Structure 1
């Protein structure tokens, strides 16, 4: 795939805020928007971001309209998700991917947004960004400075170099892996299987993370990825943060036992401990660019995601 990198941001640019999944906490969103303004950006909020339709931020058509509207709007240089939650995959089939090809822009989010990262990259070849969101992360009062610092990569091309200076890393399988980095939330990656947006991991570095899933659930999902060939196809595996993924019953395997089992079955270079996912700090990175993971050096280097 010939990855398409979006153009960098400049002070004074306008960024669009959408909620393609669940409705955001408004107070947190306001603080997140203030953060963007402090970076020198103007902000345009989608028409339906404050809508509430059960666990969705408006009906599917409303969320789709906000998504398309931001990519169509010539003033908007980046599309940033307010939060994750549930339901993003419901709009994937209706998205105009040719529109995205014609209007490549920065697209930023994670968690439930993983479905859109995968769909957009595979249908439009656009590099997207897996990073902390406004209401669910940046707008919280205890947000770590490193989470906020990640947004600076949108202003100036630079490689991400992740070492143990950021967090302790544990090698599960030795080796060096080079390839395009893909992935995100494990639950959402599994939900793409058997659809037109099924995650392609062939010769790629696969990132996985999740939240509030017991080891038995992580086991089921990793088994499905394994049986679908997605772990064996990958050139390497990055284990991000698995937040609150602890057993709620006495008889259980540990999360570590589950992850180690499948990584060793795949026999691809693997490191766990990356602060990527539902964690604080949350280190942002582009998806769809080249990266290199070296277990001997306990280092991950990811190419810049912008032009």
Structure 2
């Protein structure tokens, strides 16, 4: 069985002024004002931003039918003039099209995908099927209040330079109290916990030799986090990990446990489920569903250092 040590990461060329970027909606539909702001931002970097054919479609809670969302992704992947693909938002639906991706086109002509949340399904599929490095980053459905200048600058650097990305532990994050001392180096893989859990036994790649990045959206309770981590453990998916990097777990009080739940809080659940893996765990990374999201390469070599409180990740582009 292949481990990350034996696999070669495929990286796309970094973007340059004049390059075309395709905006697509693989999951839920965006709003037009946010996408227009995203186009404006990309254009300010000297890029040519264009929209997929079905960006504003709606079919139930998804941005169009499965075949149309997959068509937009694959059209971008097969167009040699498109140099990066940016999702408009997460939500629901990306998990329905991961088996329809034209990974042959990406092997011939790699280009990075940007997104997070439900887009984690596609990040996992791109690594599992063609070892493509991608970017856990903000959506093209842009909001200056939610993302802001720091997020814009981080996304621009991640797409247009080969600088490594360094995240520093933030003691105010709910996961910050969960640390198992040590350093670890491996390929960074992961994203949204619910998406990773869903892919267990289906599209989740072998994680032996990897550093697993986890974040969790607001709206579910401690039991759901416990179920997700227990499912991953019981499936054997976490065997052979070198380390765990914990991002934001929103909606949980950092300090106080719930007296109706035996006094446990989110840190207790994470500590109970993860420190038994016997690998370094770094909590408190300011990355996930919160304000001002950074852009984090996935599928490239990363190092966690609990003494320094840092996650350092090599660029997804060359």
**TM norm structure 2:** 0.90
RMSD between superposed Cα atoms in Å: 1.9
Q: CA deviation at 1:294?
A: 1.1
Aligned residue among 255, 272, 275 for 1:264:
275
Aligned residue among 133, 142, 148 for 1:144:
148
The residue aligned with 1:254 is: 265
Aligned residue among 229, 243, 247 for 1:236:
243
The residue aligned with 2:185 is: 178
Q: CA deviation at 1:34?
A: 1.1
Separation (CA, whole Å) in 1 of partners of 2:241 and 2:32:
39
8 Å contact 1:209–1:277 — kept in the other structure?
yes
Give unmatched runs, 5+ long, in structure 1.
Answer: none
- The superposition leaves residues 188-213 of structure 1 with CA deviations (integer Å, 9 ceiling, x where unpaired) of 00111111x12321110000011122
Give unmatched runs, 5+ long, in structure 2.
Answer: 1-6
3-state SS, counterpart of residue 233 of structure 1: coil
For residues 28-39 of structure 1, what are the structure 2 equivalents within 5 Å? 28-39=34-45
3-state SS, counterpart of residue 225 of structure 1: helix
The residue aligned with 1:276 is: 287
- The superposition leaves residues 270-297 of structure 1 with CA deviations (integer Å, 9 ceiling, x where unpaired) of 0111111101121111101001111122
The residue aligned with 2:4 is: none
Aligned residue among 284, 291, 306 for 1:295:
306
Q: CA deviation at 1:178?
A: 0.6
8 Å contact 2:216–2:289 — kept in the other structure?
yes
Aligned length: 303
For residues 81-230 of structure 1, what are the structure 2 equivalents within 5 Å? 81-135=87-141, 138-151=142-155, 152-164=157-169, 169-170=176-177, 172-195=179-202, 197-211=203-217, 212-230=219-237
Distance 1:57 1:245, change over 3 A: farther
Separation (CA, whole Å) in 1 of partners of 2:84 and 2:20:
7
Bigger shift: residues 105-114 or 152-161: 152-161
8 Å contact 2:245–2:283 — kept in the other structure?
yes
3-state SS, counterpart of residue 260 of structure 2: coil
For residues 34-113 of structure 1, what are the structure 2 equivalents within 5 Å? 34-113=40-119
3-state SS, counterpart of residue 134 of structure 1: coil
Distance 1:167 1:153, change over 3 A: farther
8 Å contact 1:289–1:303 — kept in the other structure?
yes
Bigger shift: residues 272-281 or 12-21: 272-281
Separation (CA, whole Å) in 1 of partners of 2:212 and 2:130:
19
Distance 1:291 1:276, change over 3 A: same
8 Å contact 1:70–1:76 — kept in the other structure?
yes
Report whether the alignment pairs 1:10 with 2:16. Answer: yes
3-state SS, counterpart of residue 97 of structure 2: helix
8 Å contact 2:115–2:135 — kept in the other structure?
yes
Q: CA deviation at 1:144?
A: 3.2
Separation (CA, whole Å) in 2 of partners of 1:68 and 1:171:
40
